[in-house]
Structure formats: structure tokens, C-alpha cells
């Protein structure tokens, strides 16, 4: 079972590229972030034509998350909790596969600049995510929290440390919060696969900025993650970072600055 995450940086602006990738890779489930459209403007029919069910939590021009699944989707939840938040950053659902999976797709706040409320909002959002993540473990289900976390977990997850020392993605409090999610009992799928077979596909970055030639120079960072509950981690078979997607073009459509990351779970009983 292939479960993907991809910050697409506008689903409609890049739709031809997305459909090309979905047709080639055929993920069973995919969480999209930064769809940048309201629910009614999401290209449901285009994905349904490829065999996907859609659950969407959109927002005009900014943010927005969606879950696409070849299996039926149930128990859809939009938002982390009852706290008022006008940002569409979290959607969760049960994927009704033969071995059901609870899948949370998230787009964590960027948080820059760090001397503003944007960073404080990021830290508050992380606290709310931790509360939800902790609750989900009590269900003892196969659970995956995936998406653009906007967190660089370690020094090894960036091309060069100096430019990021004052960035919200690499602050000690933010990295500590990410470690706290793992301390609850979640496994970073990339790190688990790294321990088994080395760097997947010879690369660990998932994002390359549009500026300063970051992509041609491979000046990237790893900020797109899958966190697996113990029940899901036990079934982890592989992880692939689809680096080639960063160079995709289609007519006037340019690639996202993120690439898809796909984990594969076994179907063992």
C-alpha cells in the first residue's frame, strides 16, 4: 500500500503535472498540502477519473489540504480541534482499505519571522498537533500523520546549516516539538528506512527553494514527513522521495518547490 504526501503549491496551477505523476506512480493514498483553493474549486473530477475519492479542506488562495484515496474514505475530520482557526491546515480520515489506516494530512505553519506572532502561532499549532497525535495513539490503529511539517529535524536534513540558524523551520523549540511527537511513540518513516538501507534513492531532501538556483545546486532541505504509529511502523517496507518531480514541466505549468514522498506498507497480517 503506497501512501504519499505532496505539497503541491496550488493544485489547479499544477494540475497537469499532478495528474501525470498520479497516473505514473498510482499511489493508493495521497495527502496534498497548499492546494490554495476552496472546496468547490478543487478538481475533484480530474482525480475521480483516475479512480480517487477526495476529501478536501480548502481555503481561498492560501493553505488548504486534501486526501485522495483509491479506497473509500470515512470519518473525515477537518481541523485539529474545536479551537477557532481560520487556516485550513489539517484533515484526517479513515482509509477503508482491507487493512484500514487512519490518515492525517497536515500543513504546519511556516512561522517566519521568528520575532512575530507567526512563530508563536506555529508553536501553538504544534501543541495542538501533539494533543491530537497523543489521542490517536490511544485508538491503537494503524495511523499515519503526513505532510509538510515545515520542520528540519536535524543538521543532516539541510544542505548547509548557517542560512537556517535564524529560520523558524530550524529553531530548537520546533525541532524539540518534532522529537516530542516521536517520543510519544511515532516513527519518522525516513529515519527508519535510513537505518535499514541508507539514504532512500540517494537523496534526503524534499524541498528546494525557487530562489538562487537551489534546485540545480541541490541546496535542499527535508521538511515533508510521515510519522507512523507503532501499528503502521511495523508494516513499513519502503520509502521513496520522488526527486525527479522537482524538474517536471508541462506546457506553462512549473513544478512545486516540494516533491512527493511515498511510503509503502506491507499487507502482512
Cβ pair 188, 227 in contact under 8 A = yes
Whole-angstrom distance, CA of residue 104 vs CA of residue 140: 15
Peptide bond into 113 cis (omega under 30): yes
The answer to whether the annotation marks 34 as part of a ligand binding site is yes
Please, are residues 232 and 101 in contact by the beta-carbon 8 Å criterion?
Answer: yes
Chain-centroid distance of CA 89 in Å reads 11
257 is in an annotated binding site: yes
The set of cell numbers assigned to 208 is 528546494
Secondary structure element (H or E) that encloses residue 129, with its range = helix 117-138
The answer to whether residues 125 and 84 touch, using CB atoms and an 8 Å cutoff, is no
Which backbone phi and psi does 162 adopt, to 5 degrees?
Answer: -55, -45
- Active site residue ranges: 107, 148, 258
Q: Which residues contact 83 (CB under 8 A, 6 or more apart)?
A: 128
Does the annotation flag 87 for ligand binding? no
258 known ligand binder: yes
> At a CB cut-off of 8 Å and minimum separation 6, what does 113 contact?
119, 168
Instruction: Say which DSSP state 228 is in.
Output: E
User: Any known ligand binding at 23?
Assistant: no
Q: Which helix (H) or strand (E) holds 133?
A: helix 117-138
Is 224 annotated as belonging to a binding site?
A: no
Residues 6+ apart with CB under 8 A from 4: 25, 27, 29, 30, 31, 146, 260, 261, 262, 263
268, 32 contact by CB (below 8 A): no
Q: Show binding-site residues for Mg(2+).
A: 7, 34, 148, 150, 257-258
Q: Show binding-site residues.
A: 7, 34, 148, 150, 257-258
Amino acid at each position: 500500500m503506497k501512501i504519499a504526501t505532496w505539497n503541491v503549491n496550488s493544485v489547479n496551477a499544477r494540475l497537469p503535472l499532478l495528474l501525470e505523476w498520479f497516473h505514473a506512480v498510482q499511489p493508493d493514498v495521497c495527502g496534498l498540502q497548499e492546494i490554495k483553493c476552496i472546496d468547490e474549486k478543487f478538481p475533484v473530477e480530474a482525480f475521480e477519473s483516475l479512480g480517487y475519492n477526495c476529501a478536501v479542506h480548502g481555503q481561498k488562495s492560501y493553505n488548504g489540504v486534501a486526501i485522495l484515496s483509491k479506497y473509500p474514505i470515512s470519518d473525515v475530520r477537518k481541523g485539529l480541534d474545536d479551537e477557532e482557526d481560520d487556516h485550513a491546515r489539517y484533515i484526517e480520515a479513515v482509509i477503508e482499505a482491507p487493512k484500514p489506516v487512519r490518515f492525517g494530512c497536515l500543513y504546519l505553519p511556516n512561522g517566519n519571522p521568528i520575532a512575530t506572532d507567526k512563530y508563536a502561532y506555529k508553536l501553538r499549532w504544534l501543541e495542538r498537533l501533539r494533543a491530537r497525535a497523543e489521542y490517536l495513539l490511544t485508538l491503537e490503529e494503524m495511523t499515519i500523520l503526513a505532510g509538510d511539517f515545515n520542520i528540519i529535524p536535524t543538521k543532516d536534513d539541510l544542505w548547509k546549516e548557517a542560512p537556517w540558524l535564524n529560520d523558524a523551520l530550524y529553531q530548537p523549540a520546533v525541532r524539540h516539538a518534532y522529537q516530542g511527537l516521536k517520543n510519544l511513540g511515532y516513527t519518522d518513516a525516513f529515519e527508519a528506512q535510513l537505518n535499514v538501507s541508507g539514504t532512500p534513492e540517494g537523496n534526503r531532501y524534499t524541498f528546494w527553494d525557487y530562489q538562487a538556483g537551489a534546485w540545480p545546486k541541490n541546496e535542499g532541505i527535508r521538511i515533508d514527513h510521515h510519522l507512523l504509529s507503532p501499528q503502521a511502523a511495523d508494516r513499513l517496507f519502503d520509502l521513496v522521495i520522488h526527486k525527479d518531480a522537482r524538474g517536471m514541466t508541462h506546457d506553462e505549468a512549473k513544478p512545486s518547490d516540494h516533491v512527493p514522498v511515498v511510503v509503502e506498507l506491507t499487507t502482512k497480517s
